[in-house]
Amino acid sequence: MTNQFIGERVRRNEDPRLLTGQALFVDDVEIPDMLHAAFMRSDYAHARILSIDVSAARERPGVVAVFTAEDMGDDWEPGPPLVSPPPTVKDVTFYSRRQAPLVKDTVHHAGETIAVVIAESRYIAEDAVEDIIVEYDPLPVIADLEKALAPDSPLVHDDLDSNLAAHLYQQKGNYEAAKAQADVVIKRRFYLDRGAAVAMENRGIVAHWDEKAKHLTMWDTTQAPIPIRNGIAARLGLSENQVRVIAPFIGGAFGPKMMMFYPEEMLIPWASKKLCRPIKWIEDRRENFYATTSEREQLHDVEMAFTKEGRILGFKDDFLHDTGAYDPYGLTIPLNTQCHLMGSYVIENFSSNCTAVFTNKPIVTPVRGAGRQQGIYIVERMLDVASKELDIDPLEIRKKNFIPPDAFPYNNGIIDQAFSTLIFDSGNYIAAYEKVAEMIGYKQFVKEEQPRLRAEGKHVGIAIIPFIETTGVGPYEGARVQIETSGKVNVNTGYGTQGQGHFTTFAQIVSEQLGVAVNDVRIITGDTAEFHWGTGTFASRGIVVAGNAIHAASSAVRQKVLKLASKVLATPEDELELEDGTVRIADIPQTSISLGELAALANPLRGAVEPGTEPGLEATDYFGPQTGATASGCHAMIIEVDPETLMVNIKRYVVVEDCGRVINPLIVEGQIHGGVSMGIGNAYYEKLHFDENGQILNASLADYLIVTSYEMPPRIETGHLETLSPLNKLGSKGVGEAGAIPVPALFAQALENALQDYNLEILETPLSPNRLFELLHESRMAKK
Amino acid sequence: MENLFNLSVTVNGTLYEREVEPRLLLSDFLRHDLGLTGTHVGCEHGVCGACTILFDNEPARSCLIFAVMAHGHEVTTVEGLGTIDSLHPLQEAFKEAHGLQCGFCTPGFLTTLVAFLKENPDPSEEEIREAISGNLCRCTGYQHIMEAVKLAAEKTKINT
Amino acid sequence: MKPPPFEYYAPTTVEEALSHLAEHGYDAKPLAGGQSLIPMMNFRLAQPSVLVDLNNIPELAYIRPDENGGALVGAMTRHKIVGHDPLIAKQVPLVHEAIPNIGTPQVRTRGTFGGSLSHADPSAELVAISVALKGRFKLRSQKGERWIPANEFFTGPFTSALEPEELLVEINLPRLPERSGWSLMEVVRRHNDFALIGVAAVVKLDKNGICEEARLVFLSAGDRPMEAHQAAELLKGQSPTAEAIQAAAEKAASADIDPGGDIHATAEFRRHLANVLSRRALDDAFKRAKGN
């Protein structure tokens, strides 16, 4: 059978709707009699609420209701824990605190919801929010990660003894013994700070409780409609099939649109049920900075033990992790960080103690990379420091330590975010590294071009950073594939999409099995009424987990097609082929039957059916990997820095990506470009600035700097490497987050390289021209 | 309830007459009063460009225009560029070059670029980069968008 | 982020507009391009109770030559029009150079020349440039009209000499005399952002190549456009050597400006950049002057 689907640059099925403004996003939903919500949010990061006076708001014309926590009565309860701490790690402490729909007594971060106004229009609702008078008793704010653990620190949660949210200790081998044998031990402290996801579409919810049908429909900008449905049903005392959650087209998600049970997600459906009216709430951009989760603040104290030849003997990293005011998402991010601290390298002795800390800041949950960025940043920076101290070429020191291509599957001996052992399934790190070095012309640049540019007064640096990325984790996903009598194929899956091209890539997987044109395969997702088993879109697992479930279900349908066609065409199955929407005899292609006709035959309106047959040409299947698939890659960059203004200009950018079998290279490139743009943002432009009162100083797109067309390199050049994953039939690995992961480490190496005369050592991210100016100044002072 | 204003505005060639509050933003008027939800709202402070429409054929942020300011004027939204069965050549080029992922920012790019290519049918790479610098995209990293524009310009050259 | 309610007028003549302003005084705000005002209203940082929409007054949008080879720009002329205008390109090249730095392409189709100046944002290019060019502004009210030089117009952050019942109607941009040079330099984080700091430089050489006059006006370096008087003094009568330029740049950065610090740049970094930019801008301006 000819396969023209997998690995092809198929153009996307979903594009015509999106291009013509015909795609439904949550804010496009209009229901007769719909009301609009606006929230009153706390200005203070930490305060007791003494009183809330909503009387004036209630009287404003056009206002239908105003609710506070008190009005919710017994229906008020905090959200559910979303991810439990890992049961398989021995040394875990975890104090669970979760956000509530509306604050009852104490505000724990700025922007928390205190009251909600439901009105005829969002305009009136916002007017009414200003009518609400809240009496606060401001409490001392703790916004500093390190200070939060000091004995005299204000407590974020006063029912706990400290701001300790969790301890997570993982180790393998014996670091102390390794350290004792080392020729050199290098110690450094690193600080990484927060960034936000900033999807172009803010969050939004439309909840419609139909009192007559006793049914709730909810449109939600969520990456996980199924858990949301289950949780909301439970909270409202409904059965699961009384609730339908629809995630229509979503304008980018990147992590924070996961099943957070955000306050608004818990409140709006409750309010709709209370008022028996449809209610819409759309987050605005200012709210988004406070009310949608963000990520990345950590403080690492790292030690690495080396032989004088540059072999890594051991690695120790104790770090603090800011979880914000609540920790609904368990230890996913710190686990990811720990799993990436060893990078692509053989490190036999490892010790890492993570302390998660509460602060009076908005909640921390995964943002593209989800803790992996931090791990890669640390290990790659340490190797750069070591290469200088040991006087070993930065490429050589890495080559000495890479996990070799014959060492797979490679057991890293610690636990990952999916609570299973961190095992790298396949990879060839040295090949990717060397390929990138060749693509960017590393040797020639360092030897000839760089000195020539330096002589012209230009400061141009080069960097190469390899990385691994854990992807494709469980628990599972599922799909139902059905051939209709029209000959078109329907695929229902619980795995949602927010721009990753699943309507096309999933279809390609089906097309490969059934020989149907890609645009004759209709993927239906993001609707719990269509498919209600699965978790959600996260951790770069779409192709691996949902894709393989779809592959399995399509294969099962293929078997049914062959079985039935064999009877109808009176030919053995192995002489049949599926192509162009038909089944035909391989040597006599004129003898064929269309899939649509077969589907009709498989669902007769009269007659008896054979016992044991299922109607139609349909199959449902699931896929649940035991361990995740490990993608890898390498980025390289040439960047020019103006040493006076500290402005940067990326001259070249090269990526080699290994995500196993590539379903659609065009879409993979798109994912890489987007990831790189976020990585560049995280490296040099984006930072969520908090003051000591827990206020965000740049809560607008004018001041939170996401990159535009100008800040990108002229071209991202991509090369592929494919080491198939043995863990799934497609041989695929995930790629959604890859582009963002190595970039901060890349910038650090490149800037140090460009500014070699200044002997800079970069131990933090994000950077900015101002920060670089300060570091240069500090290093100049240190030299004196 | 303050004064309502009798608004008369042509959108995608159709004349609409509505009574609106002066403070109603054009973005909300288009989306909710006229049901033209193709124009998207990303920030309401004029930075992201997702709400860009053509105001008398010039690209402008609809979140920074009160609907009443459009009285007597012509507005073109993404719905006025092409349909699913008959895509505008620029829309075709976006599809061909994979110039969109989640699609939320895309209508703003399309209106901006339709006007740009009219004024500058054979643009250099630098000119394209400048033309799209006022539109934010979080998914694509802009590279395929730039390629889509080049493709559209080439196609138009061949056809003229 | 929806704006609060307001009363709205859409006059079609300047007289009509002025009568609304006279009637409502401090409660009224003229609405030009809206690119600065409307975001502030959407954030509810500005809550004018009356808006007087100037966009339907065609008599306020024009570009005409003045009697001395300079330009007269009607306050409601869109930035995009100014940017493409051949008279401006030829006679006021500093403005021509500045226009692409103002916001984004979409902002420039709506934003107006007079609107930007009336907004008096110390980070706006046109604000600094109008001072560097010794521009003059015509203000009109029901009571009459008056001209005011640019450097007296900007009185503080987002504050100008405009009385509540006055409208800025016309801006005179003089042509630079012979042997003049000019330059505009900015440091921006992203291409279309407000500058961390910027400087507009205008210089004039005498027949012997000695600096006769120099003006350095900074944006984002204080609560209004900051003119570097002391730096200018240092250059007067000097040959524009690298040393002279360096000394002037250092003087400007240390003594003539009062930059604040914010999340994008500390005051110290701004001073450092001011030094760098002054040097580069003066270098550029003097080169141009020699060429002219």
Tens of pLDDT, residue by residue over A150-172, are 999 999 999 999 999 999 999 99
Whether A64 maps to a domain, the answer reads yes
Please state the domain count of chain A. 3
pLDDT for A489: 98
Residue A498's pLDDT is: 94
Shortest CA distance to A168 belongs to which of A414, A370, A373? Answer: A414
Chain-chain contact of C10 with B112 (C-beta, under 8 angstroms): no
| Residue A91 three-state SS | strand
Q: Do residues A470 and A372 lie in contact, with contact meaning Cβ atoms separated by under 8 Å?
A: yes
My answer on whether A567 and A700 are in the same domain is no
- A594 with A528, same domain? yes
Q: Where along chain B do its domains lie?
A: 5-80, 89-159
Q: How far apart are CA B47 and CA B108, in angstroms?
A: 12
What residues of A are in contact with residue B129 (Cβ under 8 Å)?
Answer: 709-710
**Does one domain contain both A596 and A638?**
no
Same domain, A434 and A512: no
Distance (Å, whole) CA A593 – CA A608: 22
- Distance in Å, alpha carbon of C276 to nearest chain B alpha carbon: 26
Among chain C residues, the shortest Cα distance to A283 is held by: C1
Q: Is residue A132 part of a domain?
A: yes
A426 Cβ contact list (under 8 Å, min separation 6): A408, A409, A630, A660, A723, A724, A725, A726
Asked if C191 is an interface residue toward chain A (Cβ–Cβ < 8 A), one would say yes
Q: What pLDDT was estimated at residue A83?
A: 84
Distance in angstroms (rounded) separating the CA atoms of residues A167 and A354: 6
Q: Answer yes or no: do A644 and A500 share one domain.
A: no
Question: B34 — contact with chain A (CB < 8 Å)?
Answer: no
- Compute the residue count for chain C: 292
Question: CA C60 to CA A151: how far, in whole Å?
Answer: 66
Domain membership of residue A194 (yes or no) is: no
Give contacts of B143 with chain A, Cβ < 8 Å.
Answer: 673, 712, 715-716
Given the structure tokens 């991202």, which residue do they identify?
A716
* Shared domain check, A265 and A129: yes
Residue A610 is predicted with a pLDDT of 81
pLDDT score at A90: 76
Instruction: Tell me if chain C has a CB within 8 Å of the CB of B3.
Output: yes
pLDDT at A588 over 90: no
Residue C292, pLDDT above cutoff 90: no
Token digits of residue C72 = 């007269």
pLDDT at residue A611, as a whole number: 85
3-state DSSP assignment of residue A82:
coil
Q: Does B44 touch chain C (CB under 8 A)?
A: yes
Residue A446 burial by CB count (10 A; 0-12/13-18/19+): exposed, middle or buried? middle
pLDDT tens for each residue of B65-79: 999 999 999 999 999
pLDDT of residue B1: 46
| Residue in this structure with the two tokens 């203004």, named with its chain if needed | A645
pLDDT digits (tens, 9 = 90+) for B145-154: 999 999 999 9
Query: Is A773 an 8 Å CB contact of chain C?
Result: yes
Residues A124 and A207 grouped into a single domain: yes
The β-bridge partners of A207 are A218, A279
Report how far residue A243's alpha carbon sits from residue C100's, in angstroms, rounded to the nearest whole number. Answer: 52
Q: Which domain holds residue A546?
A: 15-22+474-623
Residues of B in contact with C39 (CB under 8 A): 44-46, 64
pLDDT average, residue stretch A628-642 = 97
A617 with A595: CB under 8 angstroms? yes
What does the alpha-carbon distance between residue A749 and residue A388 come to, in Å, rounded to a whole number?
12
Residue C194 pLDDT exceeds 90: yes
A467: domain CATH number? Answer: 3.30.365.10
DSSP labels for C139-171? EEETTEEEEEEHHHHEEETTEES--TT-EEEEE
Note the pLDDT of residue A2: 52
Instruction: Determine which helix (DSSP H) or strand (DSSP E) holds B86, and give its type and residue range.
Output: none
Give me the residue from C10, C43, C191 closest to B45, CB to CB.
C43
User: First CA to last CA across chain C, in angstroms?
Assistant: 51
pLDDT for A255: 95
Q: What is the mean pLDDT of the segment spanning A491-518?
A: 95
Same domain, A650 and A782: yes
Other Cβ atoms less than 10 A from the Cβ of A211: the count is: 11
Q: What is the pLDDT of residue B160?
A: 63
- pLDDT value at residue A4: 80
Using a CB-CB cut-off of 8 Å, the residues of chain B touching A665 are none
* Shared-domain flag, residues A444 and A578: no
**Strands in C66-116 per DSSP E:** 71-74
CB contact residues (below 8 A), chain B span 51-70, against chain A: none
Cβ-based contacts of B65 with chain C (< 8 Å)? 34, 38, 110
Based on the number of CB atoms within 10 Å of its own CB, is A219 exposed (0-12), middle (13-18) or buried (19 or more)?
A: buried
Kindly determine whether residue C2 and residue A122, on different chains, have CB atoms separated by under 8 Å.
yes
The torsion angle over the Cα atoms of residues A538, A539, A545 and A547, rounded to 10 degrees, is 70
Which of C288, C214, C207 lies closest to C245, judged by CA? C214
Interval C232-252: pLDDT, tens: 999 999 999 999 999 999 999
Contact at CB, A708 and C192, closer than 8 angstroms: yes
Q: Which residues of B touch A252 (CB under 8 A)?
A: 101-102, 104, 138-139
What percent of chain A is modeled with pLDDT above 70?
99
At residue A411, the pLDDT reads 95
Give residue A3's pLDDT band: very low, low, confident or very high (50, 70, 90): low
Q: Cα angle vertex A295, ends A292, A300, to 5°?
A: 160
The SS3 assignment for C118 reads helix
Q: What is the distance of C-alpha A6 from the center of its chain?
A: 25
Is C272 in the A-facing interface, judged by CB distances under 8 Å?
Answer: yes
A59 CA to centre of own chain: 43
pLDDT for the residue A432 = 97
* Fold of domain B5-80: Ubiquitin-like (UB roll) (3.10.20)
Amino acid identity, residue A363?
I
Contacts with A248 (C-beta within 8 Å, 6 or more apart), sequence order: A23, A24, A25, A26, A28, A29, A219, A526
CA distance A642 to chain C (A): 11
Q: What is the pLDDT of residues C52-96, one digit of tens each?
A: 999 999 999 999 999 999 999 999 999 999 999 999 999 999 999
The predicted-structure confidence for A93-108, as pLDDT tens digits, reads as follows: 899 999 999 999 999 9
Paired with A209 in beta bridges are A216
Q: Do A580 and A726 reside in the same domain of the chain?
A: no
Nearest CA in chain B to C100: B130
Instruction: Calculate what percentage of chain C has a pLDDT beyond 90.
Output: 99
Q: What integer is the mean pLDDT of A441-451? A: 97
In this predicted structure, the answer to whether residue A784 has a pLDDT above a threshold of 60 is: no
The answer, yes or no, to whether residue C172 has pLDDT greater than 60, is yes
Min Cα distance B1 → chain C (Å) is 9
Does an H or E element contain A410, and which?
strand A410-415
Instruction: Compute how many other C-beta atoms are within 10 angstroms of the C-beta atom of residue C19.
Output: 16
Domain stop point among A291, A318, A346: A291
Domains observed in chain C:
61-173 (3.30.465.10), 180-291 (3.30.390.50)
Inter-residue contact A669 to A506 (CB < 8 Å): no
A224 shares a domain with A100: yes
Q: Are C10 and B63 in contact (CB < 8 Å)?
A: no
pLDDT at A1 over 50: no
Per-residue confidence (pLDDT) for residue A419, from 0 to 100: 86
Average pLDDT over chain C reads 97
Q: Give the sign of the dihedral formed by CA A361, CA A363, CA A367, CA A371.
A: positive
CB contact under 8 A, C103 and B60: no
Handedness of CA A744, A748, A749, A753 (dihedral sign): positive
Q: Which residue of C has its CA nearest to B66?
A: C38
Spatial CA neighbour of C109 closest among B12, B46, B105, B11: B46
Task: Identify whether A342 is part of a domain.
Answer: no
CATH of residue A125's domain is 3.90.1170.50
Question: What are the DSSP E strand ranges found in B28-79?
Answer: 52-55, 58-61, 74-76
Whether residue C205 is predicted with pLDDT greater than 80 in this model: the reply is yes
Which is nearest to A303 in space by CA: A395, A146, A184, A192? A184
| Co-location of A107 and A248 in the same domain | yes
The model carries a pTM of 0.97
Q: What is the pLDDT of residues A186-213, one digit of tens each?
A: 999 999 999 999 999 999 999 999 999 9
Number of A to C CB contacts under 8 A, please give it: 55
Q: What is the mean pLDDT of residues A372-390?
A: 97
CATH classification number, B89-159, choose in 3.90.1150.10, 1.10.3720.10, 1.10.150.120, 1.10.340.30: 1.10.150.120
Separation of alpha carbons A41 and C187, rounded Å:
36
- Decide if A705 touches C, using CB distance below 8 A: yes
Residues 6+ apart with CB under 8 A from A590: A584
Q: Which of A478, A498, A482 has its CA nearest to residue A490?
A: A482
Q: Which structure tokens are listed for A770?
A: 């101002």
For range B14-32, the mean pLDDT: 98
Report the distance separating Cα A491 and Cα A618, nearest Å.
10
Taking contacts as CB-CB distances below 8 angstroms, the residues of chain A near B135 are 708
**CA-based angle A665:A667:A671, to the nearest 5?**
115
Q: Is the model's pLDDT at A306 over the cut of 90?
A: yes
Check A123 against C43: CB less than 8 A apart: no
